Amino acid sequence: MWTFSAPLMAYGDNAIEYLAQIQGKKAFIVTDRNIVKLGLVKLVTDQLDAVDIKWEIFDEVEPEPSLITVKRGGEAVAKFQPDWVIGVGGGSAMDAAKAIILLLARPDLEPDALSVSETFNFRAKAKLMAIPTTSGTGSEATWAIVLTDTVLNRKLGLGTTECMPDVAILDPVMVMGLPPLITADTGMDVLCHAIEGYASTWGTTITEGPGLVAARRVFEYLDKAYKDGSDLLARREMMYAATLAGMSFGNAMAGLGHSTGHALGAIFHVPHGRTVGLFLPYTMEYLINSSEETTAKYAEIARFCCGASGPDKECAKALVARVRSLAKAIGQPLSVKDCGIDKVKFDAEIPALVDRALNEVMTITVTRVPGEEDLTKIFEYAYAGKPIDF
C-alpha cells in the first residue's frame, strides 16, 4: 500500500484572502526579516486583522535554519499558544514553521529529536499553514524539515508525515518580486524535483502525474519568469509547478541530482537549486547509459514536455539537452567550474563529496545506484562540464 499526502490548497490571484476564512483566534507567523521588510507579511496580517485573529511574528529564521533558531521559535510559540502556525517564506521559513509546531506539542523535546519515530498530535493545539514566497522547494506540499546543526556542522533531515501543512496558500503576489537569480536557482530546483520525482523508483502513477505537469510548466515558463519578473502568468504557473513538483518528489523522493547537488552545496556553499540543477543532466546521462526503465521515463517526459519523438533513448537525450539549454538560458552554471570553484580545492574535497552523496537516501531511489568509484567520476565529469559517457 502507498499513501499520497497533500495540503488543502487555496490558489490563484488573491488567494491570500483565504486567510479571512480560517477558524481561529491566534496565529503565530514564522518568517524572516527580509520577507517582513518586503511587505509580504503585512499582506498576511492585514487579512488576519480583518477577521480579528491576533498574531505574533517570529522573524528570526535564517537560510538553512539552525536548531538554535527553531528552539527560540519553540519558546516563543509556547508563550503565545496559537491555534495556527503559519510559515511565510521560502523553504527555510516553512520548514522552521513545521519544526516549531512540533515543539508547541512537545516543548520537552530538543529540535534534533523531531523525528519520524515520534507521534506529536500537534493538531490538538494548532493547525499548520504554509505560504510560499519562492517557487522552488515545494515545502508547502511536503512533510520534511531540513535544519542545520551549527555546532556539529551537519544538516538534519527531520519531520514526520504529520508535518504536511493543513493549508497551503499559493498567491502569485507573494513571488512577483523575486529577483532573477533566485527565480533561476529555485526554478531549477523545481525542475529537478519534477524529473527526479517522476523517475524515482519509489514513484507511482499517482506521484508521476504532478511531476509530469510540473516539468512541462517549468520548460514553458521558467525562462519567461526569469526574463520578466512582472509576467503574472509565468509567475503563477511556476508557483503551481513548484507545489506540484513538491507533491511528486515529496511522496516519491528525489534522486541522484539531489544527493550529489546536496553534497556540493554543503561543502562549497552554493545555493540548493543551483547545485541540484547543475547535477541533474549529468546524473540523467548516468542513468540513461544503463537503465532502459529510466530512459523510458525520461522519454515520456520529453514527449510530453518538449515535443520529442522517436526511440526512447533519443527522446531521453533530447530531454537532457533541453535541461541544459534551459539552464544556459537563465544564466545557470553548466559545470562545477562555472560555479567559480577552484579545481585544487574541489579535487581535495572529492572523497568528502562522495561520502556525503553515499549517505543520502536519494542515492538509492534510482535504477542504477552508484558506488564510490562512479560517484567520484560523476563529480570529476561535472567539474569539467563533460557529458557522462559511462
Taking the complex as a whole, the smallest distance from the CB of residue 258 to Fe ion amounts, in Å, to: 6
Nearer to Fe ion, 262 or 322 (CB): 262
Residues that bind Fe ion (rule: CB under 5 A) add up to a total of 1
Nearer to Fe ion, 254 or 315 (CB): 254
Taking the complex as a whole, the smallest distance from the CB of residue 22 to Fe ion amounts, in Å, to: 29
Taking the complex as a whole, the smallest distance from the CB of residue 189 to Fe ion amounts, in Å, to: 4
Helix (H) or strand (E) holding 230: none
Please identify, among the stretches 2-10, 99-107, 182-190, 197-205, the one whose residues bind Fe ion according to the rule CB under 5 A.
182-190
Question: Where do the H-state alpha helices sit in the chain?
Answer: 33-37, 40-50, 67-80, 91-105, 180-199, 205-227, 232-252, 256-268, 272-288, 292-306, 312-329, 343-358, 372-384
Asked if 360 touches Fe ion (CB under 5 A), the answer is no
Taking the complex as a whole, the smallest distance from the CB of residue 25 to Fe ion amounts, in Å, to: 35
Taking the complex as a whole, the smallest distance from the CB of residue 91 to Fe ion amounts, in Å, to: 8
Nearer to Fe ion, 64 or 189 (CB): 189
Helix (H) or strand (E) holding 54: strand 54-58
Q: 8-11 and 54-58 as β-strands: parallel, antiparallel, unpaired?
A: unpaired
Residue 92's Cβ-count burial label (10 Å; 0-12, 13-18, 19+) is: buried
DSSP string spanning 250-301? HHH---HHHHHHHHHHHHH---HHHHHHHHHHHHHHHHHTT-HHHHHHHHHH
Taking the complex as a whole, the smallest distance from the CB of residue 276 to Fe ion amounts, in Å, to: 5
Spatial contact of 286 and 377, defined as CB atoms under 8 Å apart: no
Spatial contact of 368 and 286, defined as CB atoms under 8 Å apart: yes
Please identify, among the stretches 96-104, 171-179, 186-194, 373-381, the one whose residues bind Fe ion according to the rule CB under 5 A.
186-194
Taking the complex as a whole, the smallest distance from the CB of residue 137 to Fe ion amounts, in Å, to: 6
26 has which bridge partners? 54
Grid cell in block for residue 30: 514564522
Grid cell in block for residue 80: 503565545
Please identify, among the stretches 6-14, 79-87, 185-193, 288-296, the one whose residues bind Fe ion according to the rule CB under 5 A.
185-193
Nearer to Fe ion, 74 or 87 (CB): 87
- Give CA–CA dist 240/48, Å, rounded: 24
263: CB partners within 8 A, 6+ apart: 352, 353, 354, 356, 357, 360
Nearer to Fe ion, 249 or 298 (CB): 249
Return the residues of window 71-110 that contact Fe ion according to CB under 5 A. Answer: none
Taking the complex as a whole, the smallest distance from the CB of residue 209 to Fe ion amounts, in Å, to: 19
- Give CA–CA dist 383/345, Å, rounded: 12
Residue listed under C-alpha cell 529555485 = 186
Nearer to Fe ion, 32 or 189 (CB): 189
Nearer to Fe ion, 276 or 375 (CB): 276
In the bound state, the residue with its beta carbon closest to Fe ion is 189
Residue listed under C-alpha cell 521559535 = 73
Nearer to Fe ion, 95 or 189 (CB): 189
Best CA proximity match to 128, nearest among 159, 158, 97, 105: 97
Taking the complex as a whole, the smallest distance from the CB of residue 249 to Fe ion amounts, in Å, to: 7
Return the residues of window 187-246 that contact Fe ion according to CB under 5 A. Answer: 189
Nearer to Fe ion, 189 or 237 (CB): 189
Query: Would you give the DSSP letter of residue 228?
Result: -
Nearer to Fe ion, 57 or 256 (CB): 256
Taking the complex as a whole, the smallest distance from the CB of residue 121 to Fe ion amounts, in Å, to: 29
Write out the residues near Fe ion by the rule CB under 5 A.
Answer: 189
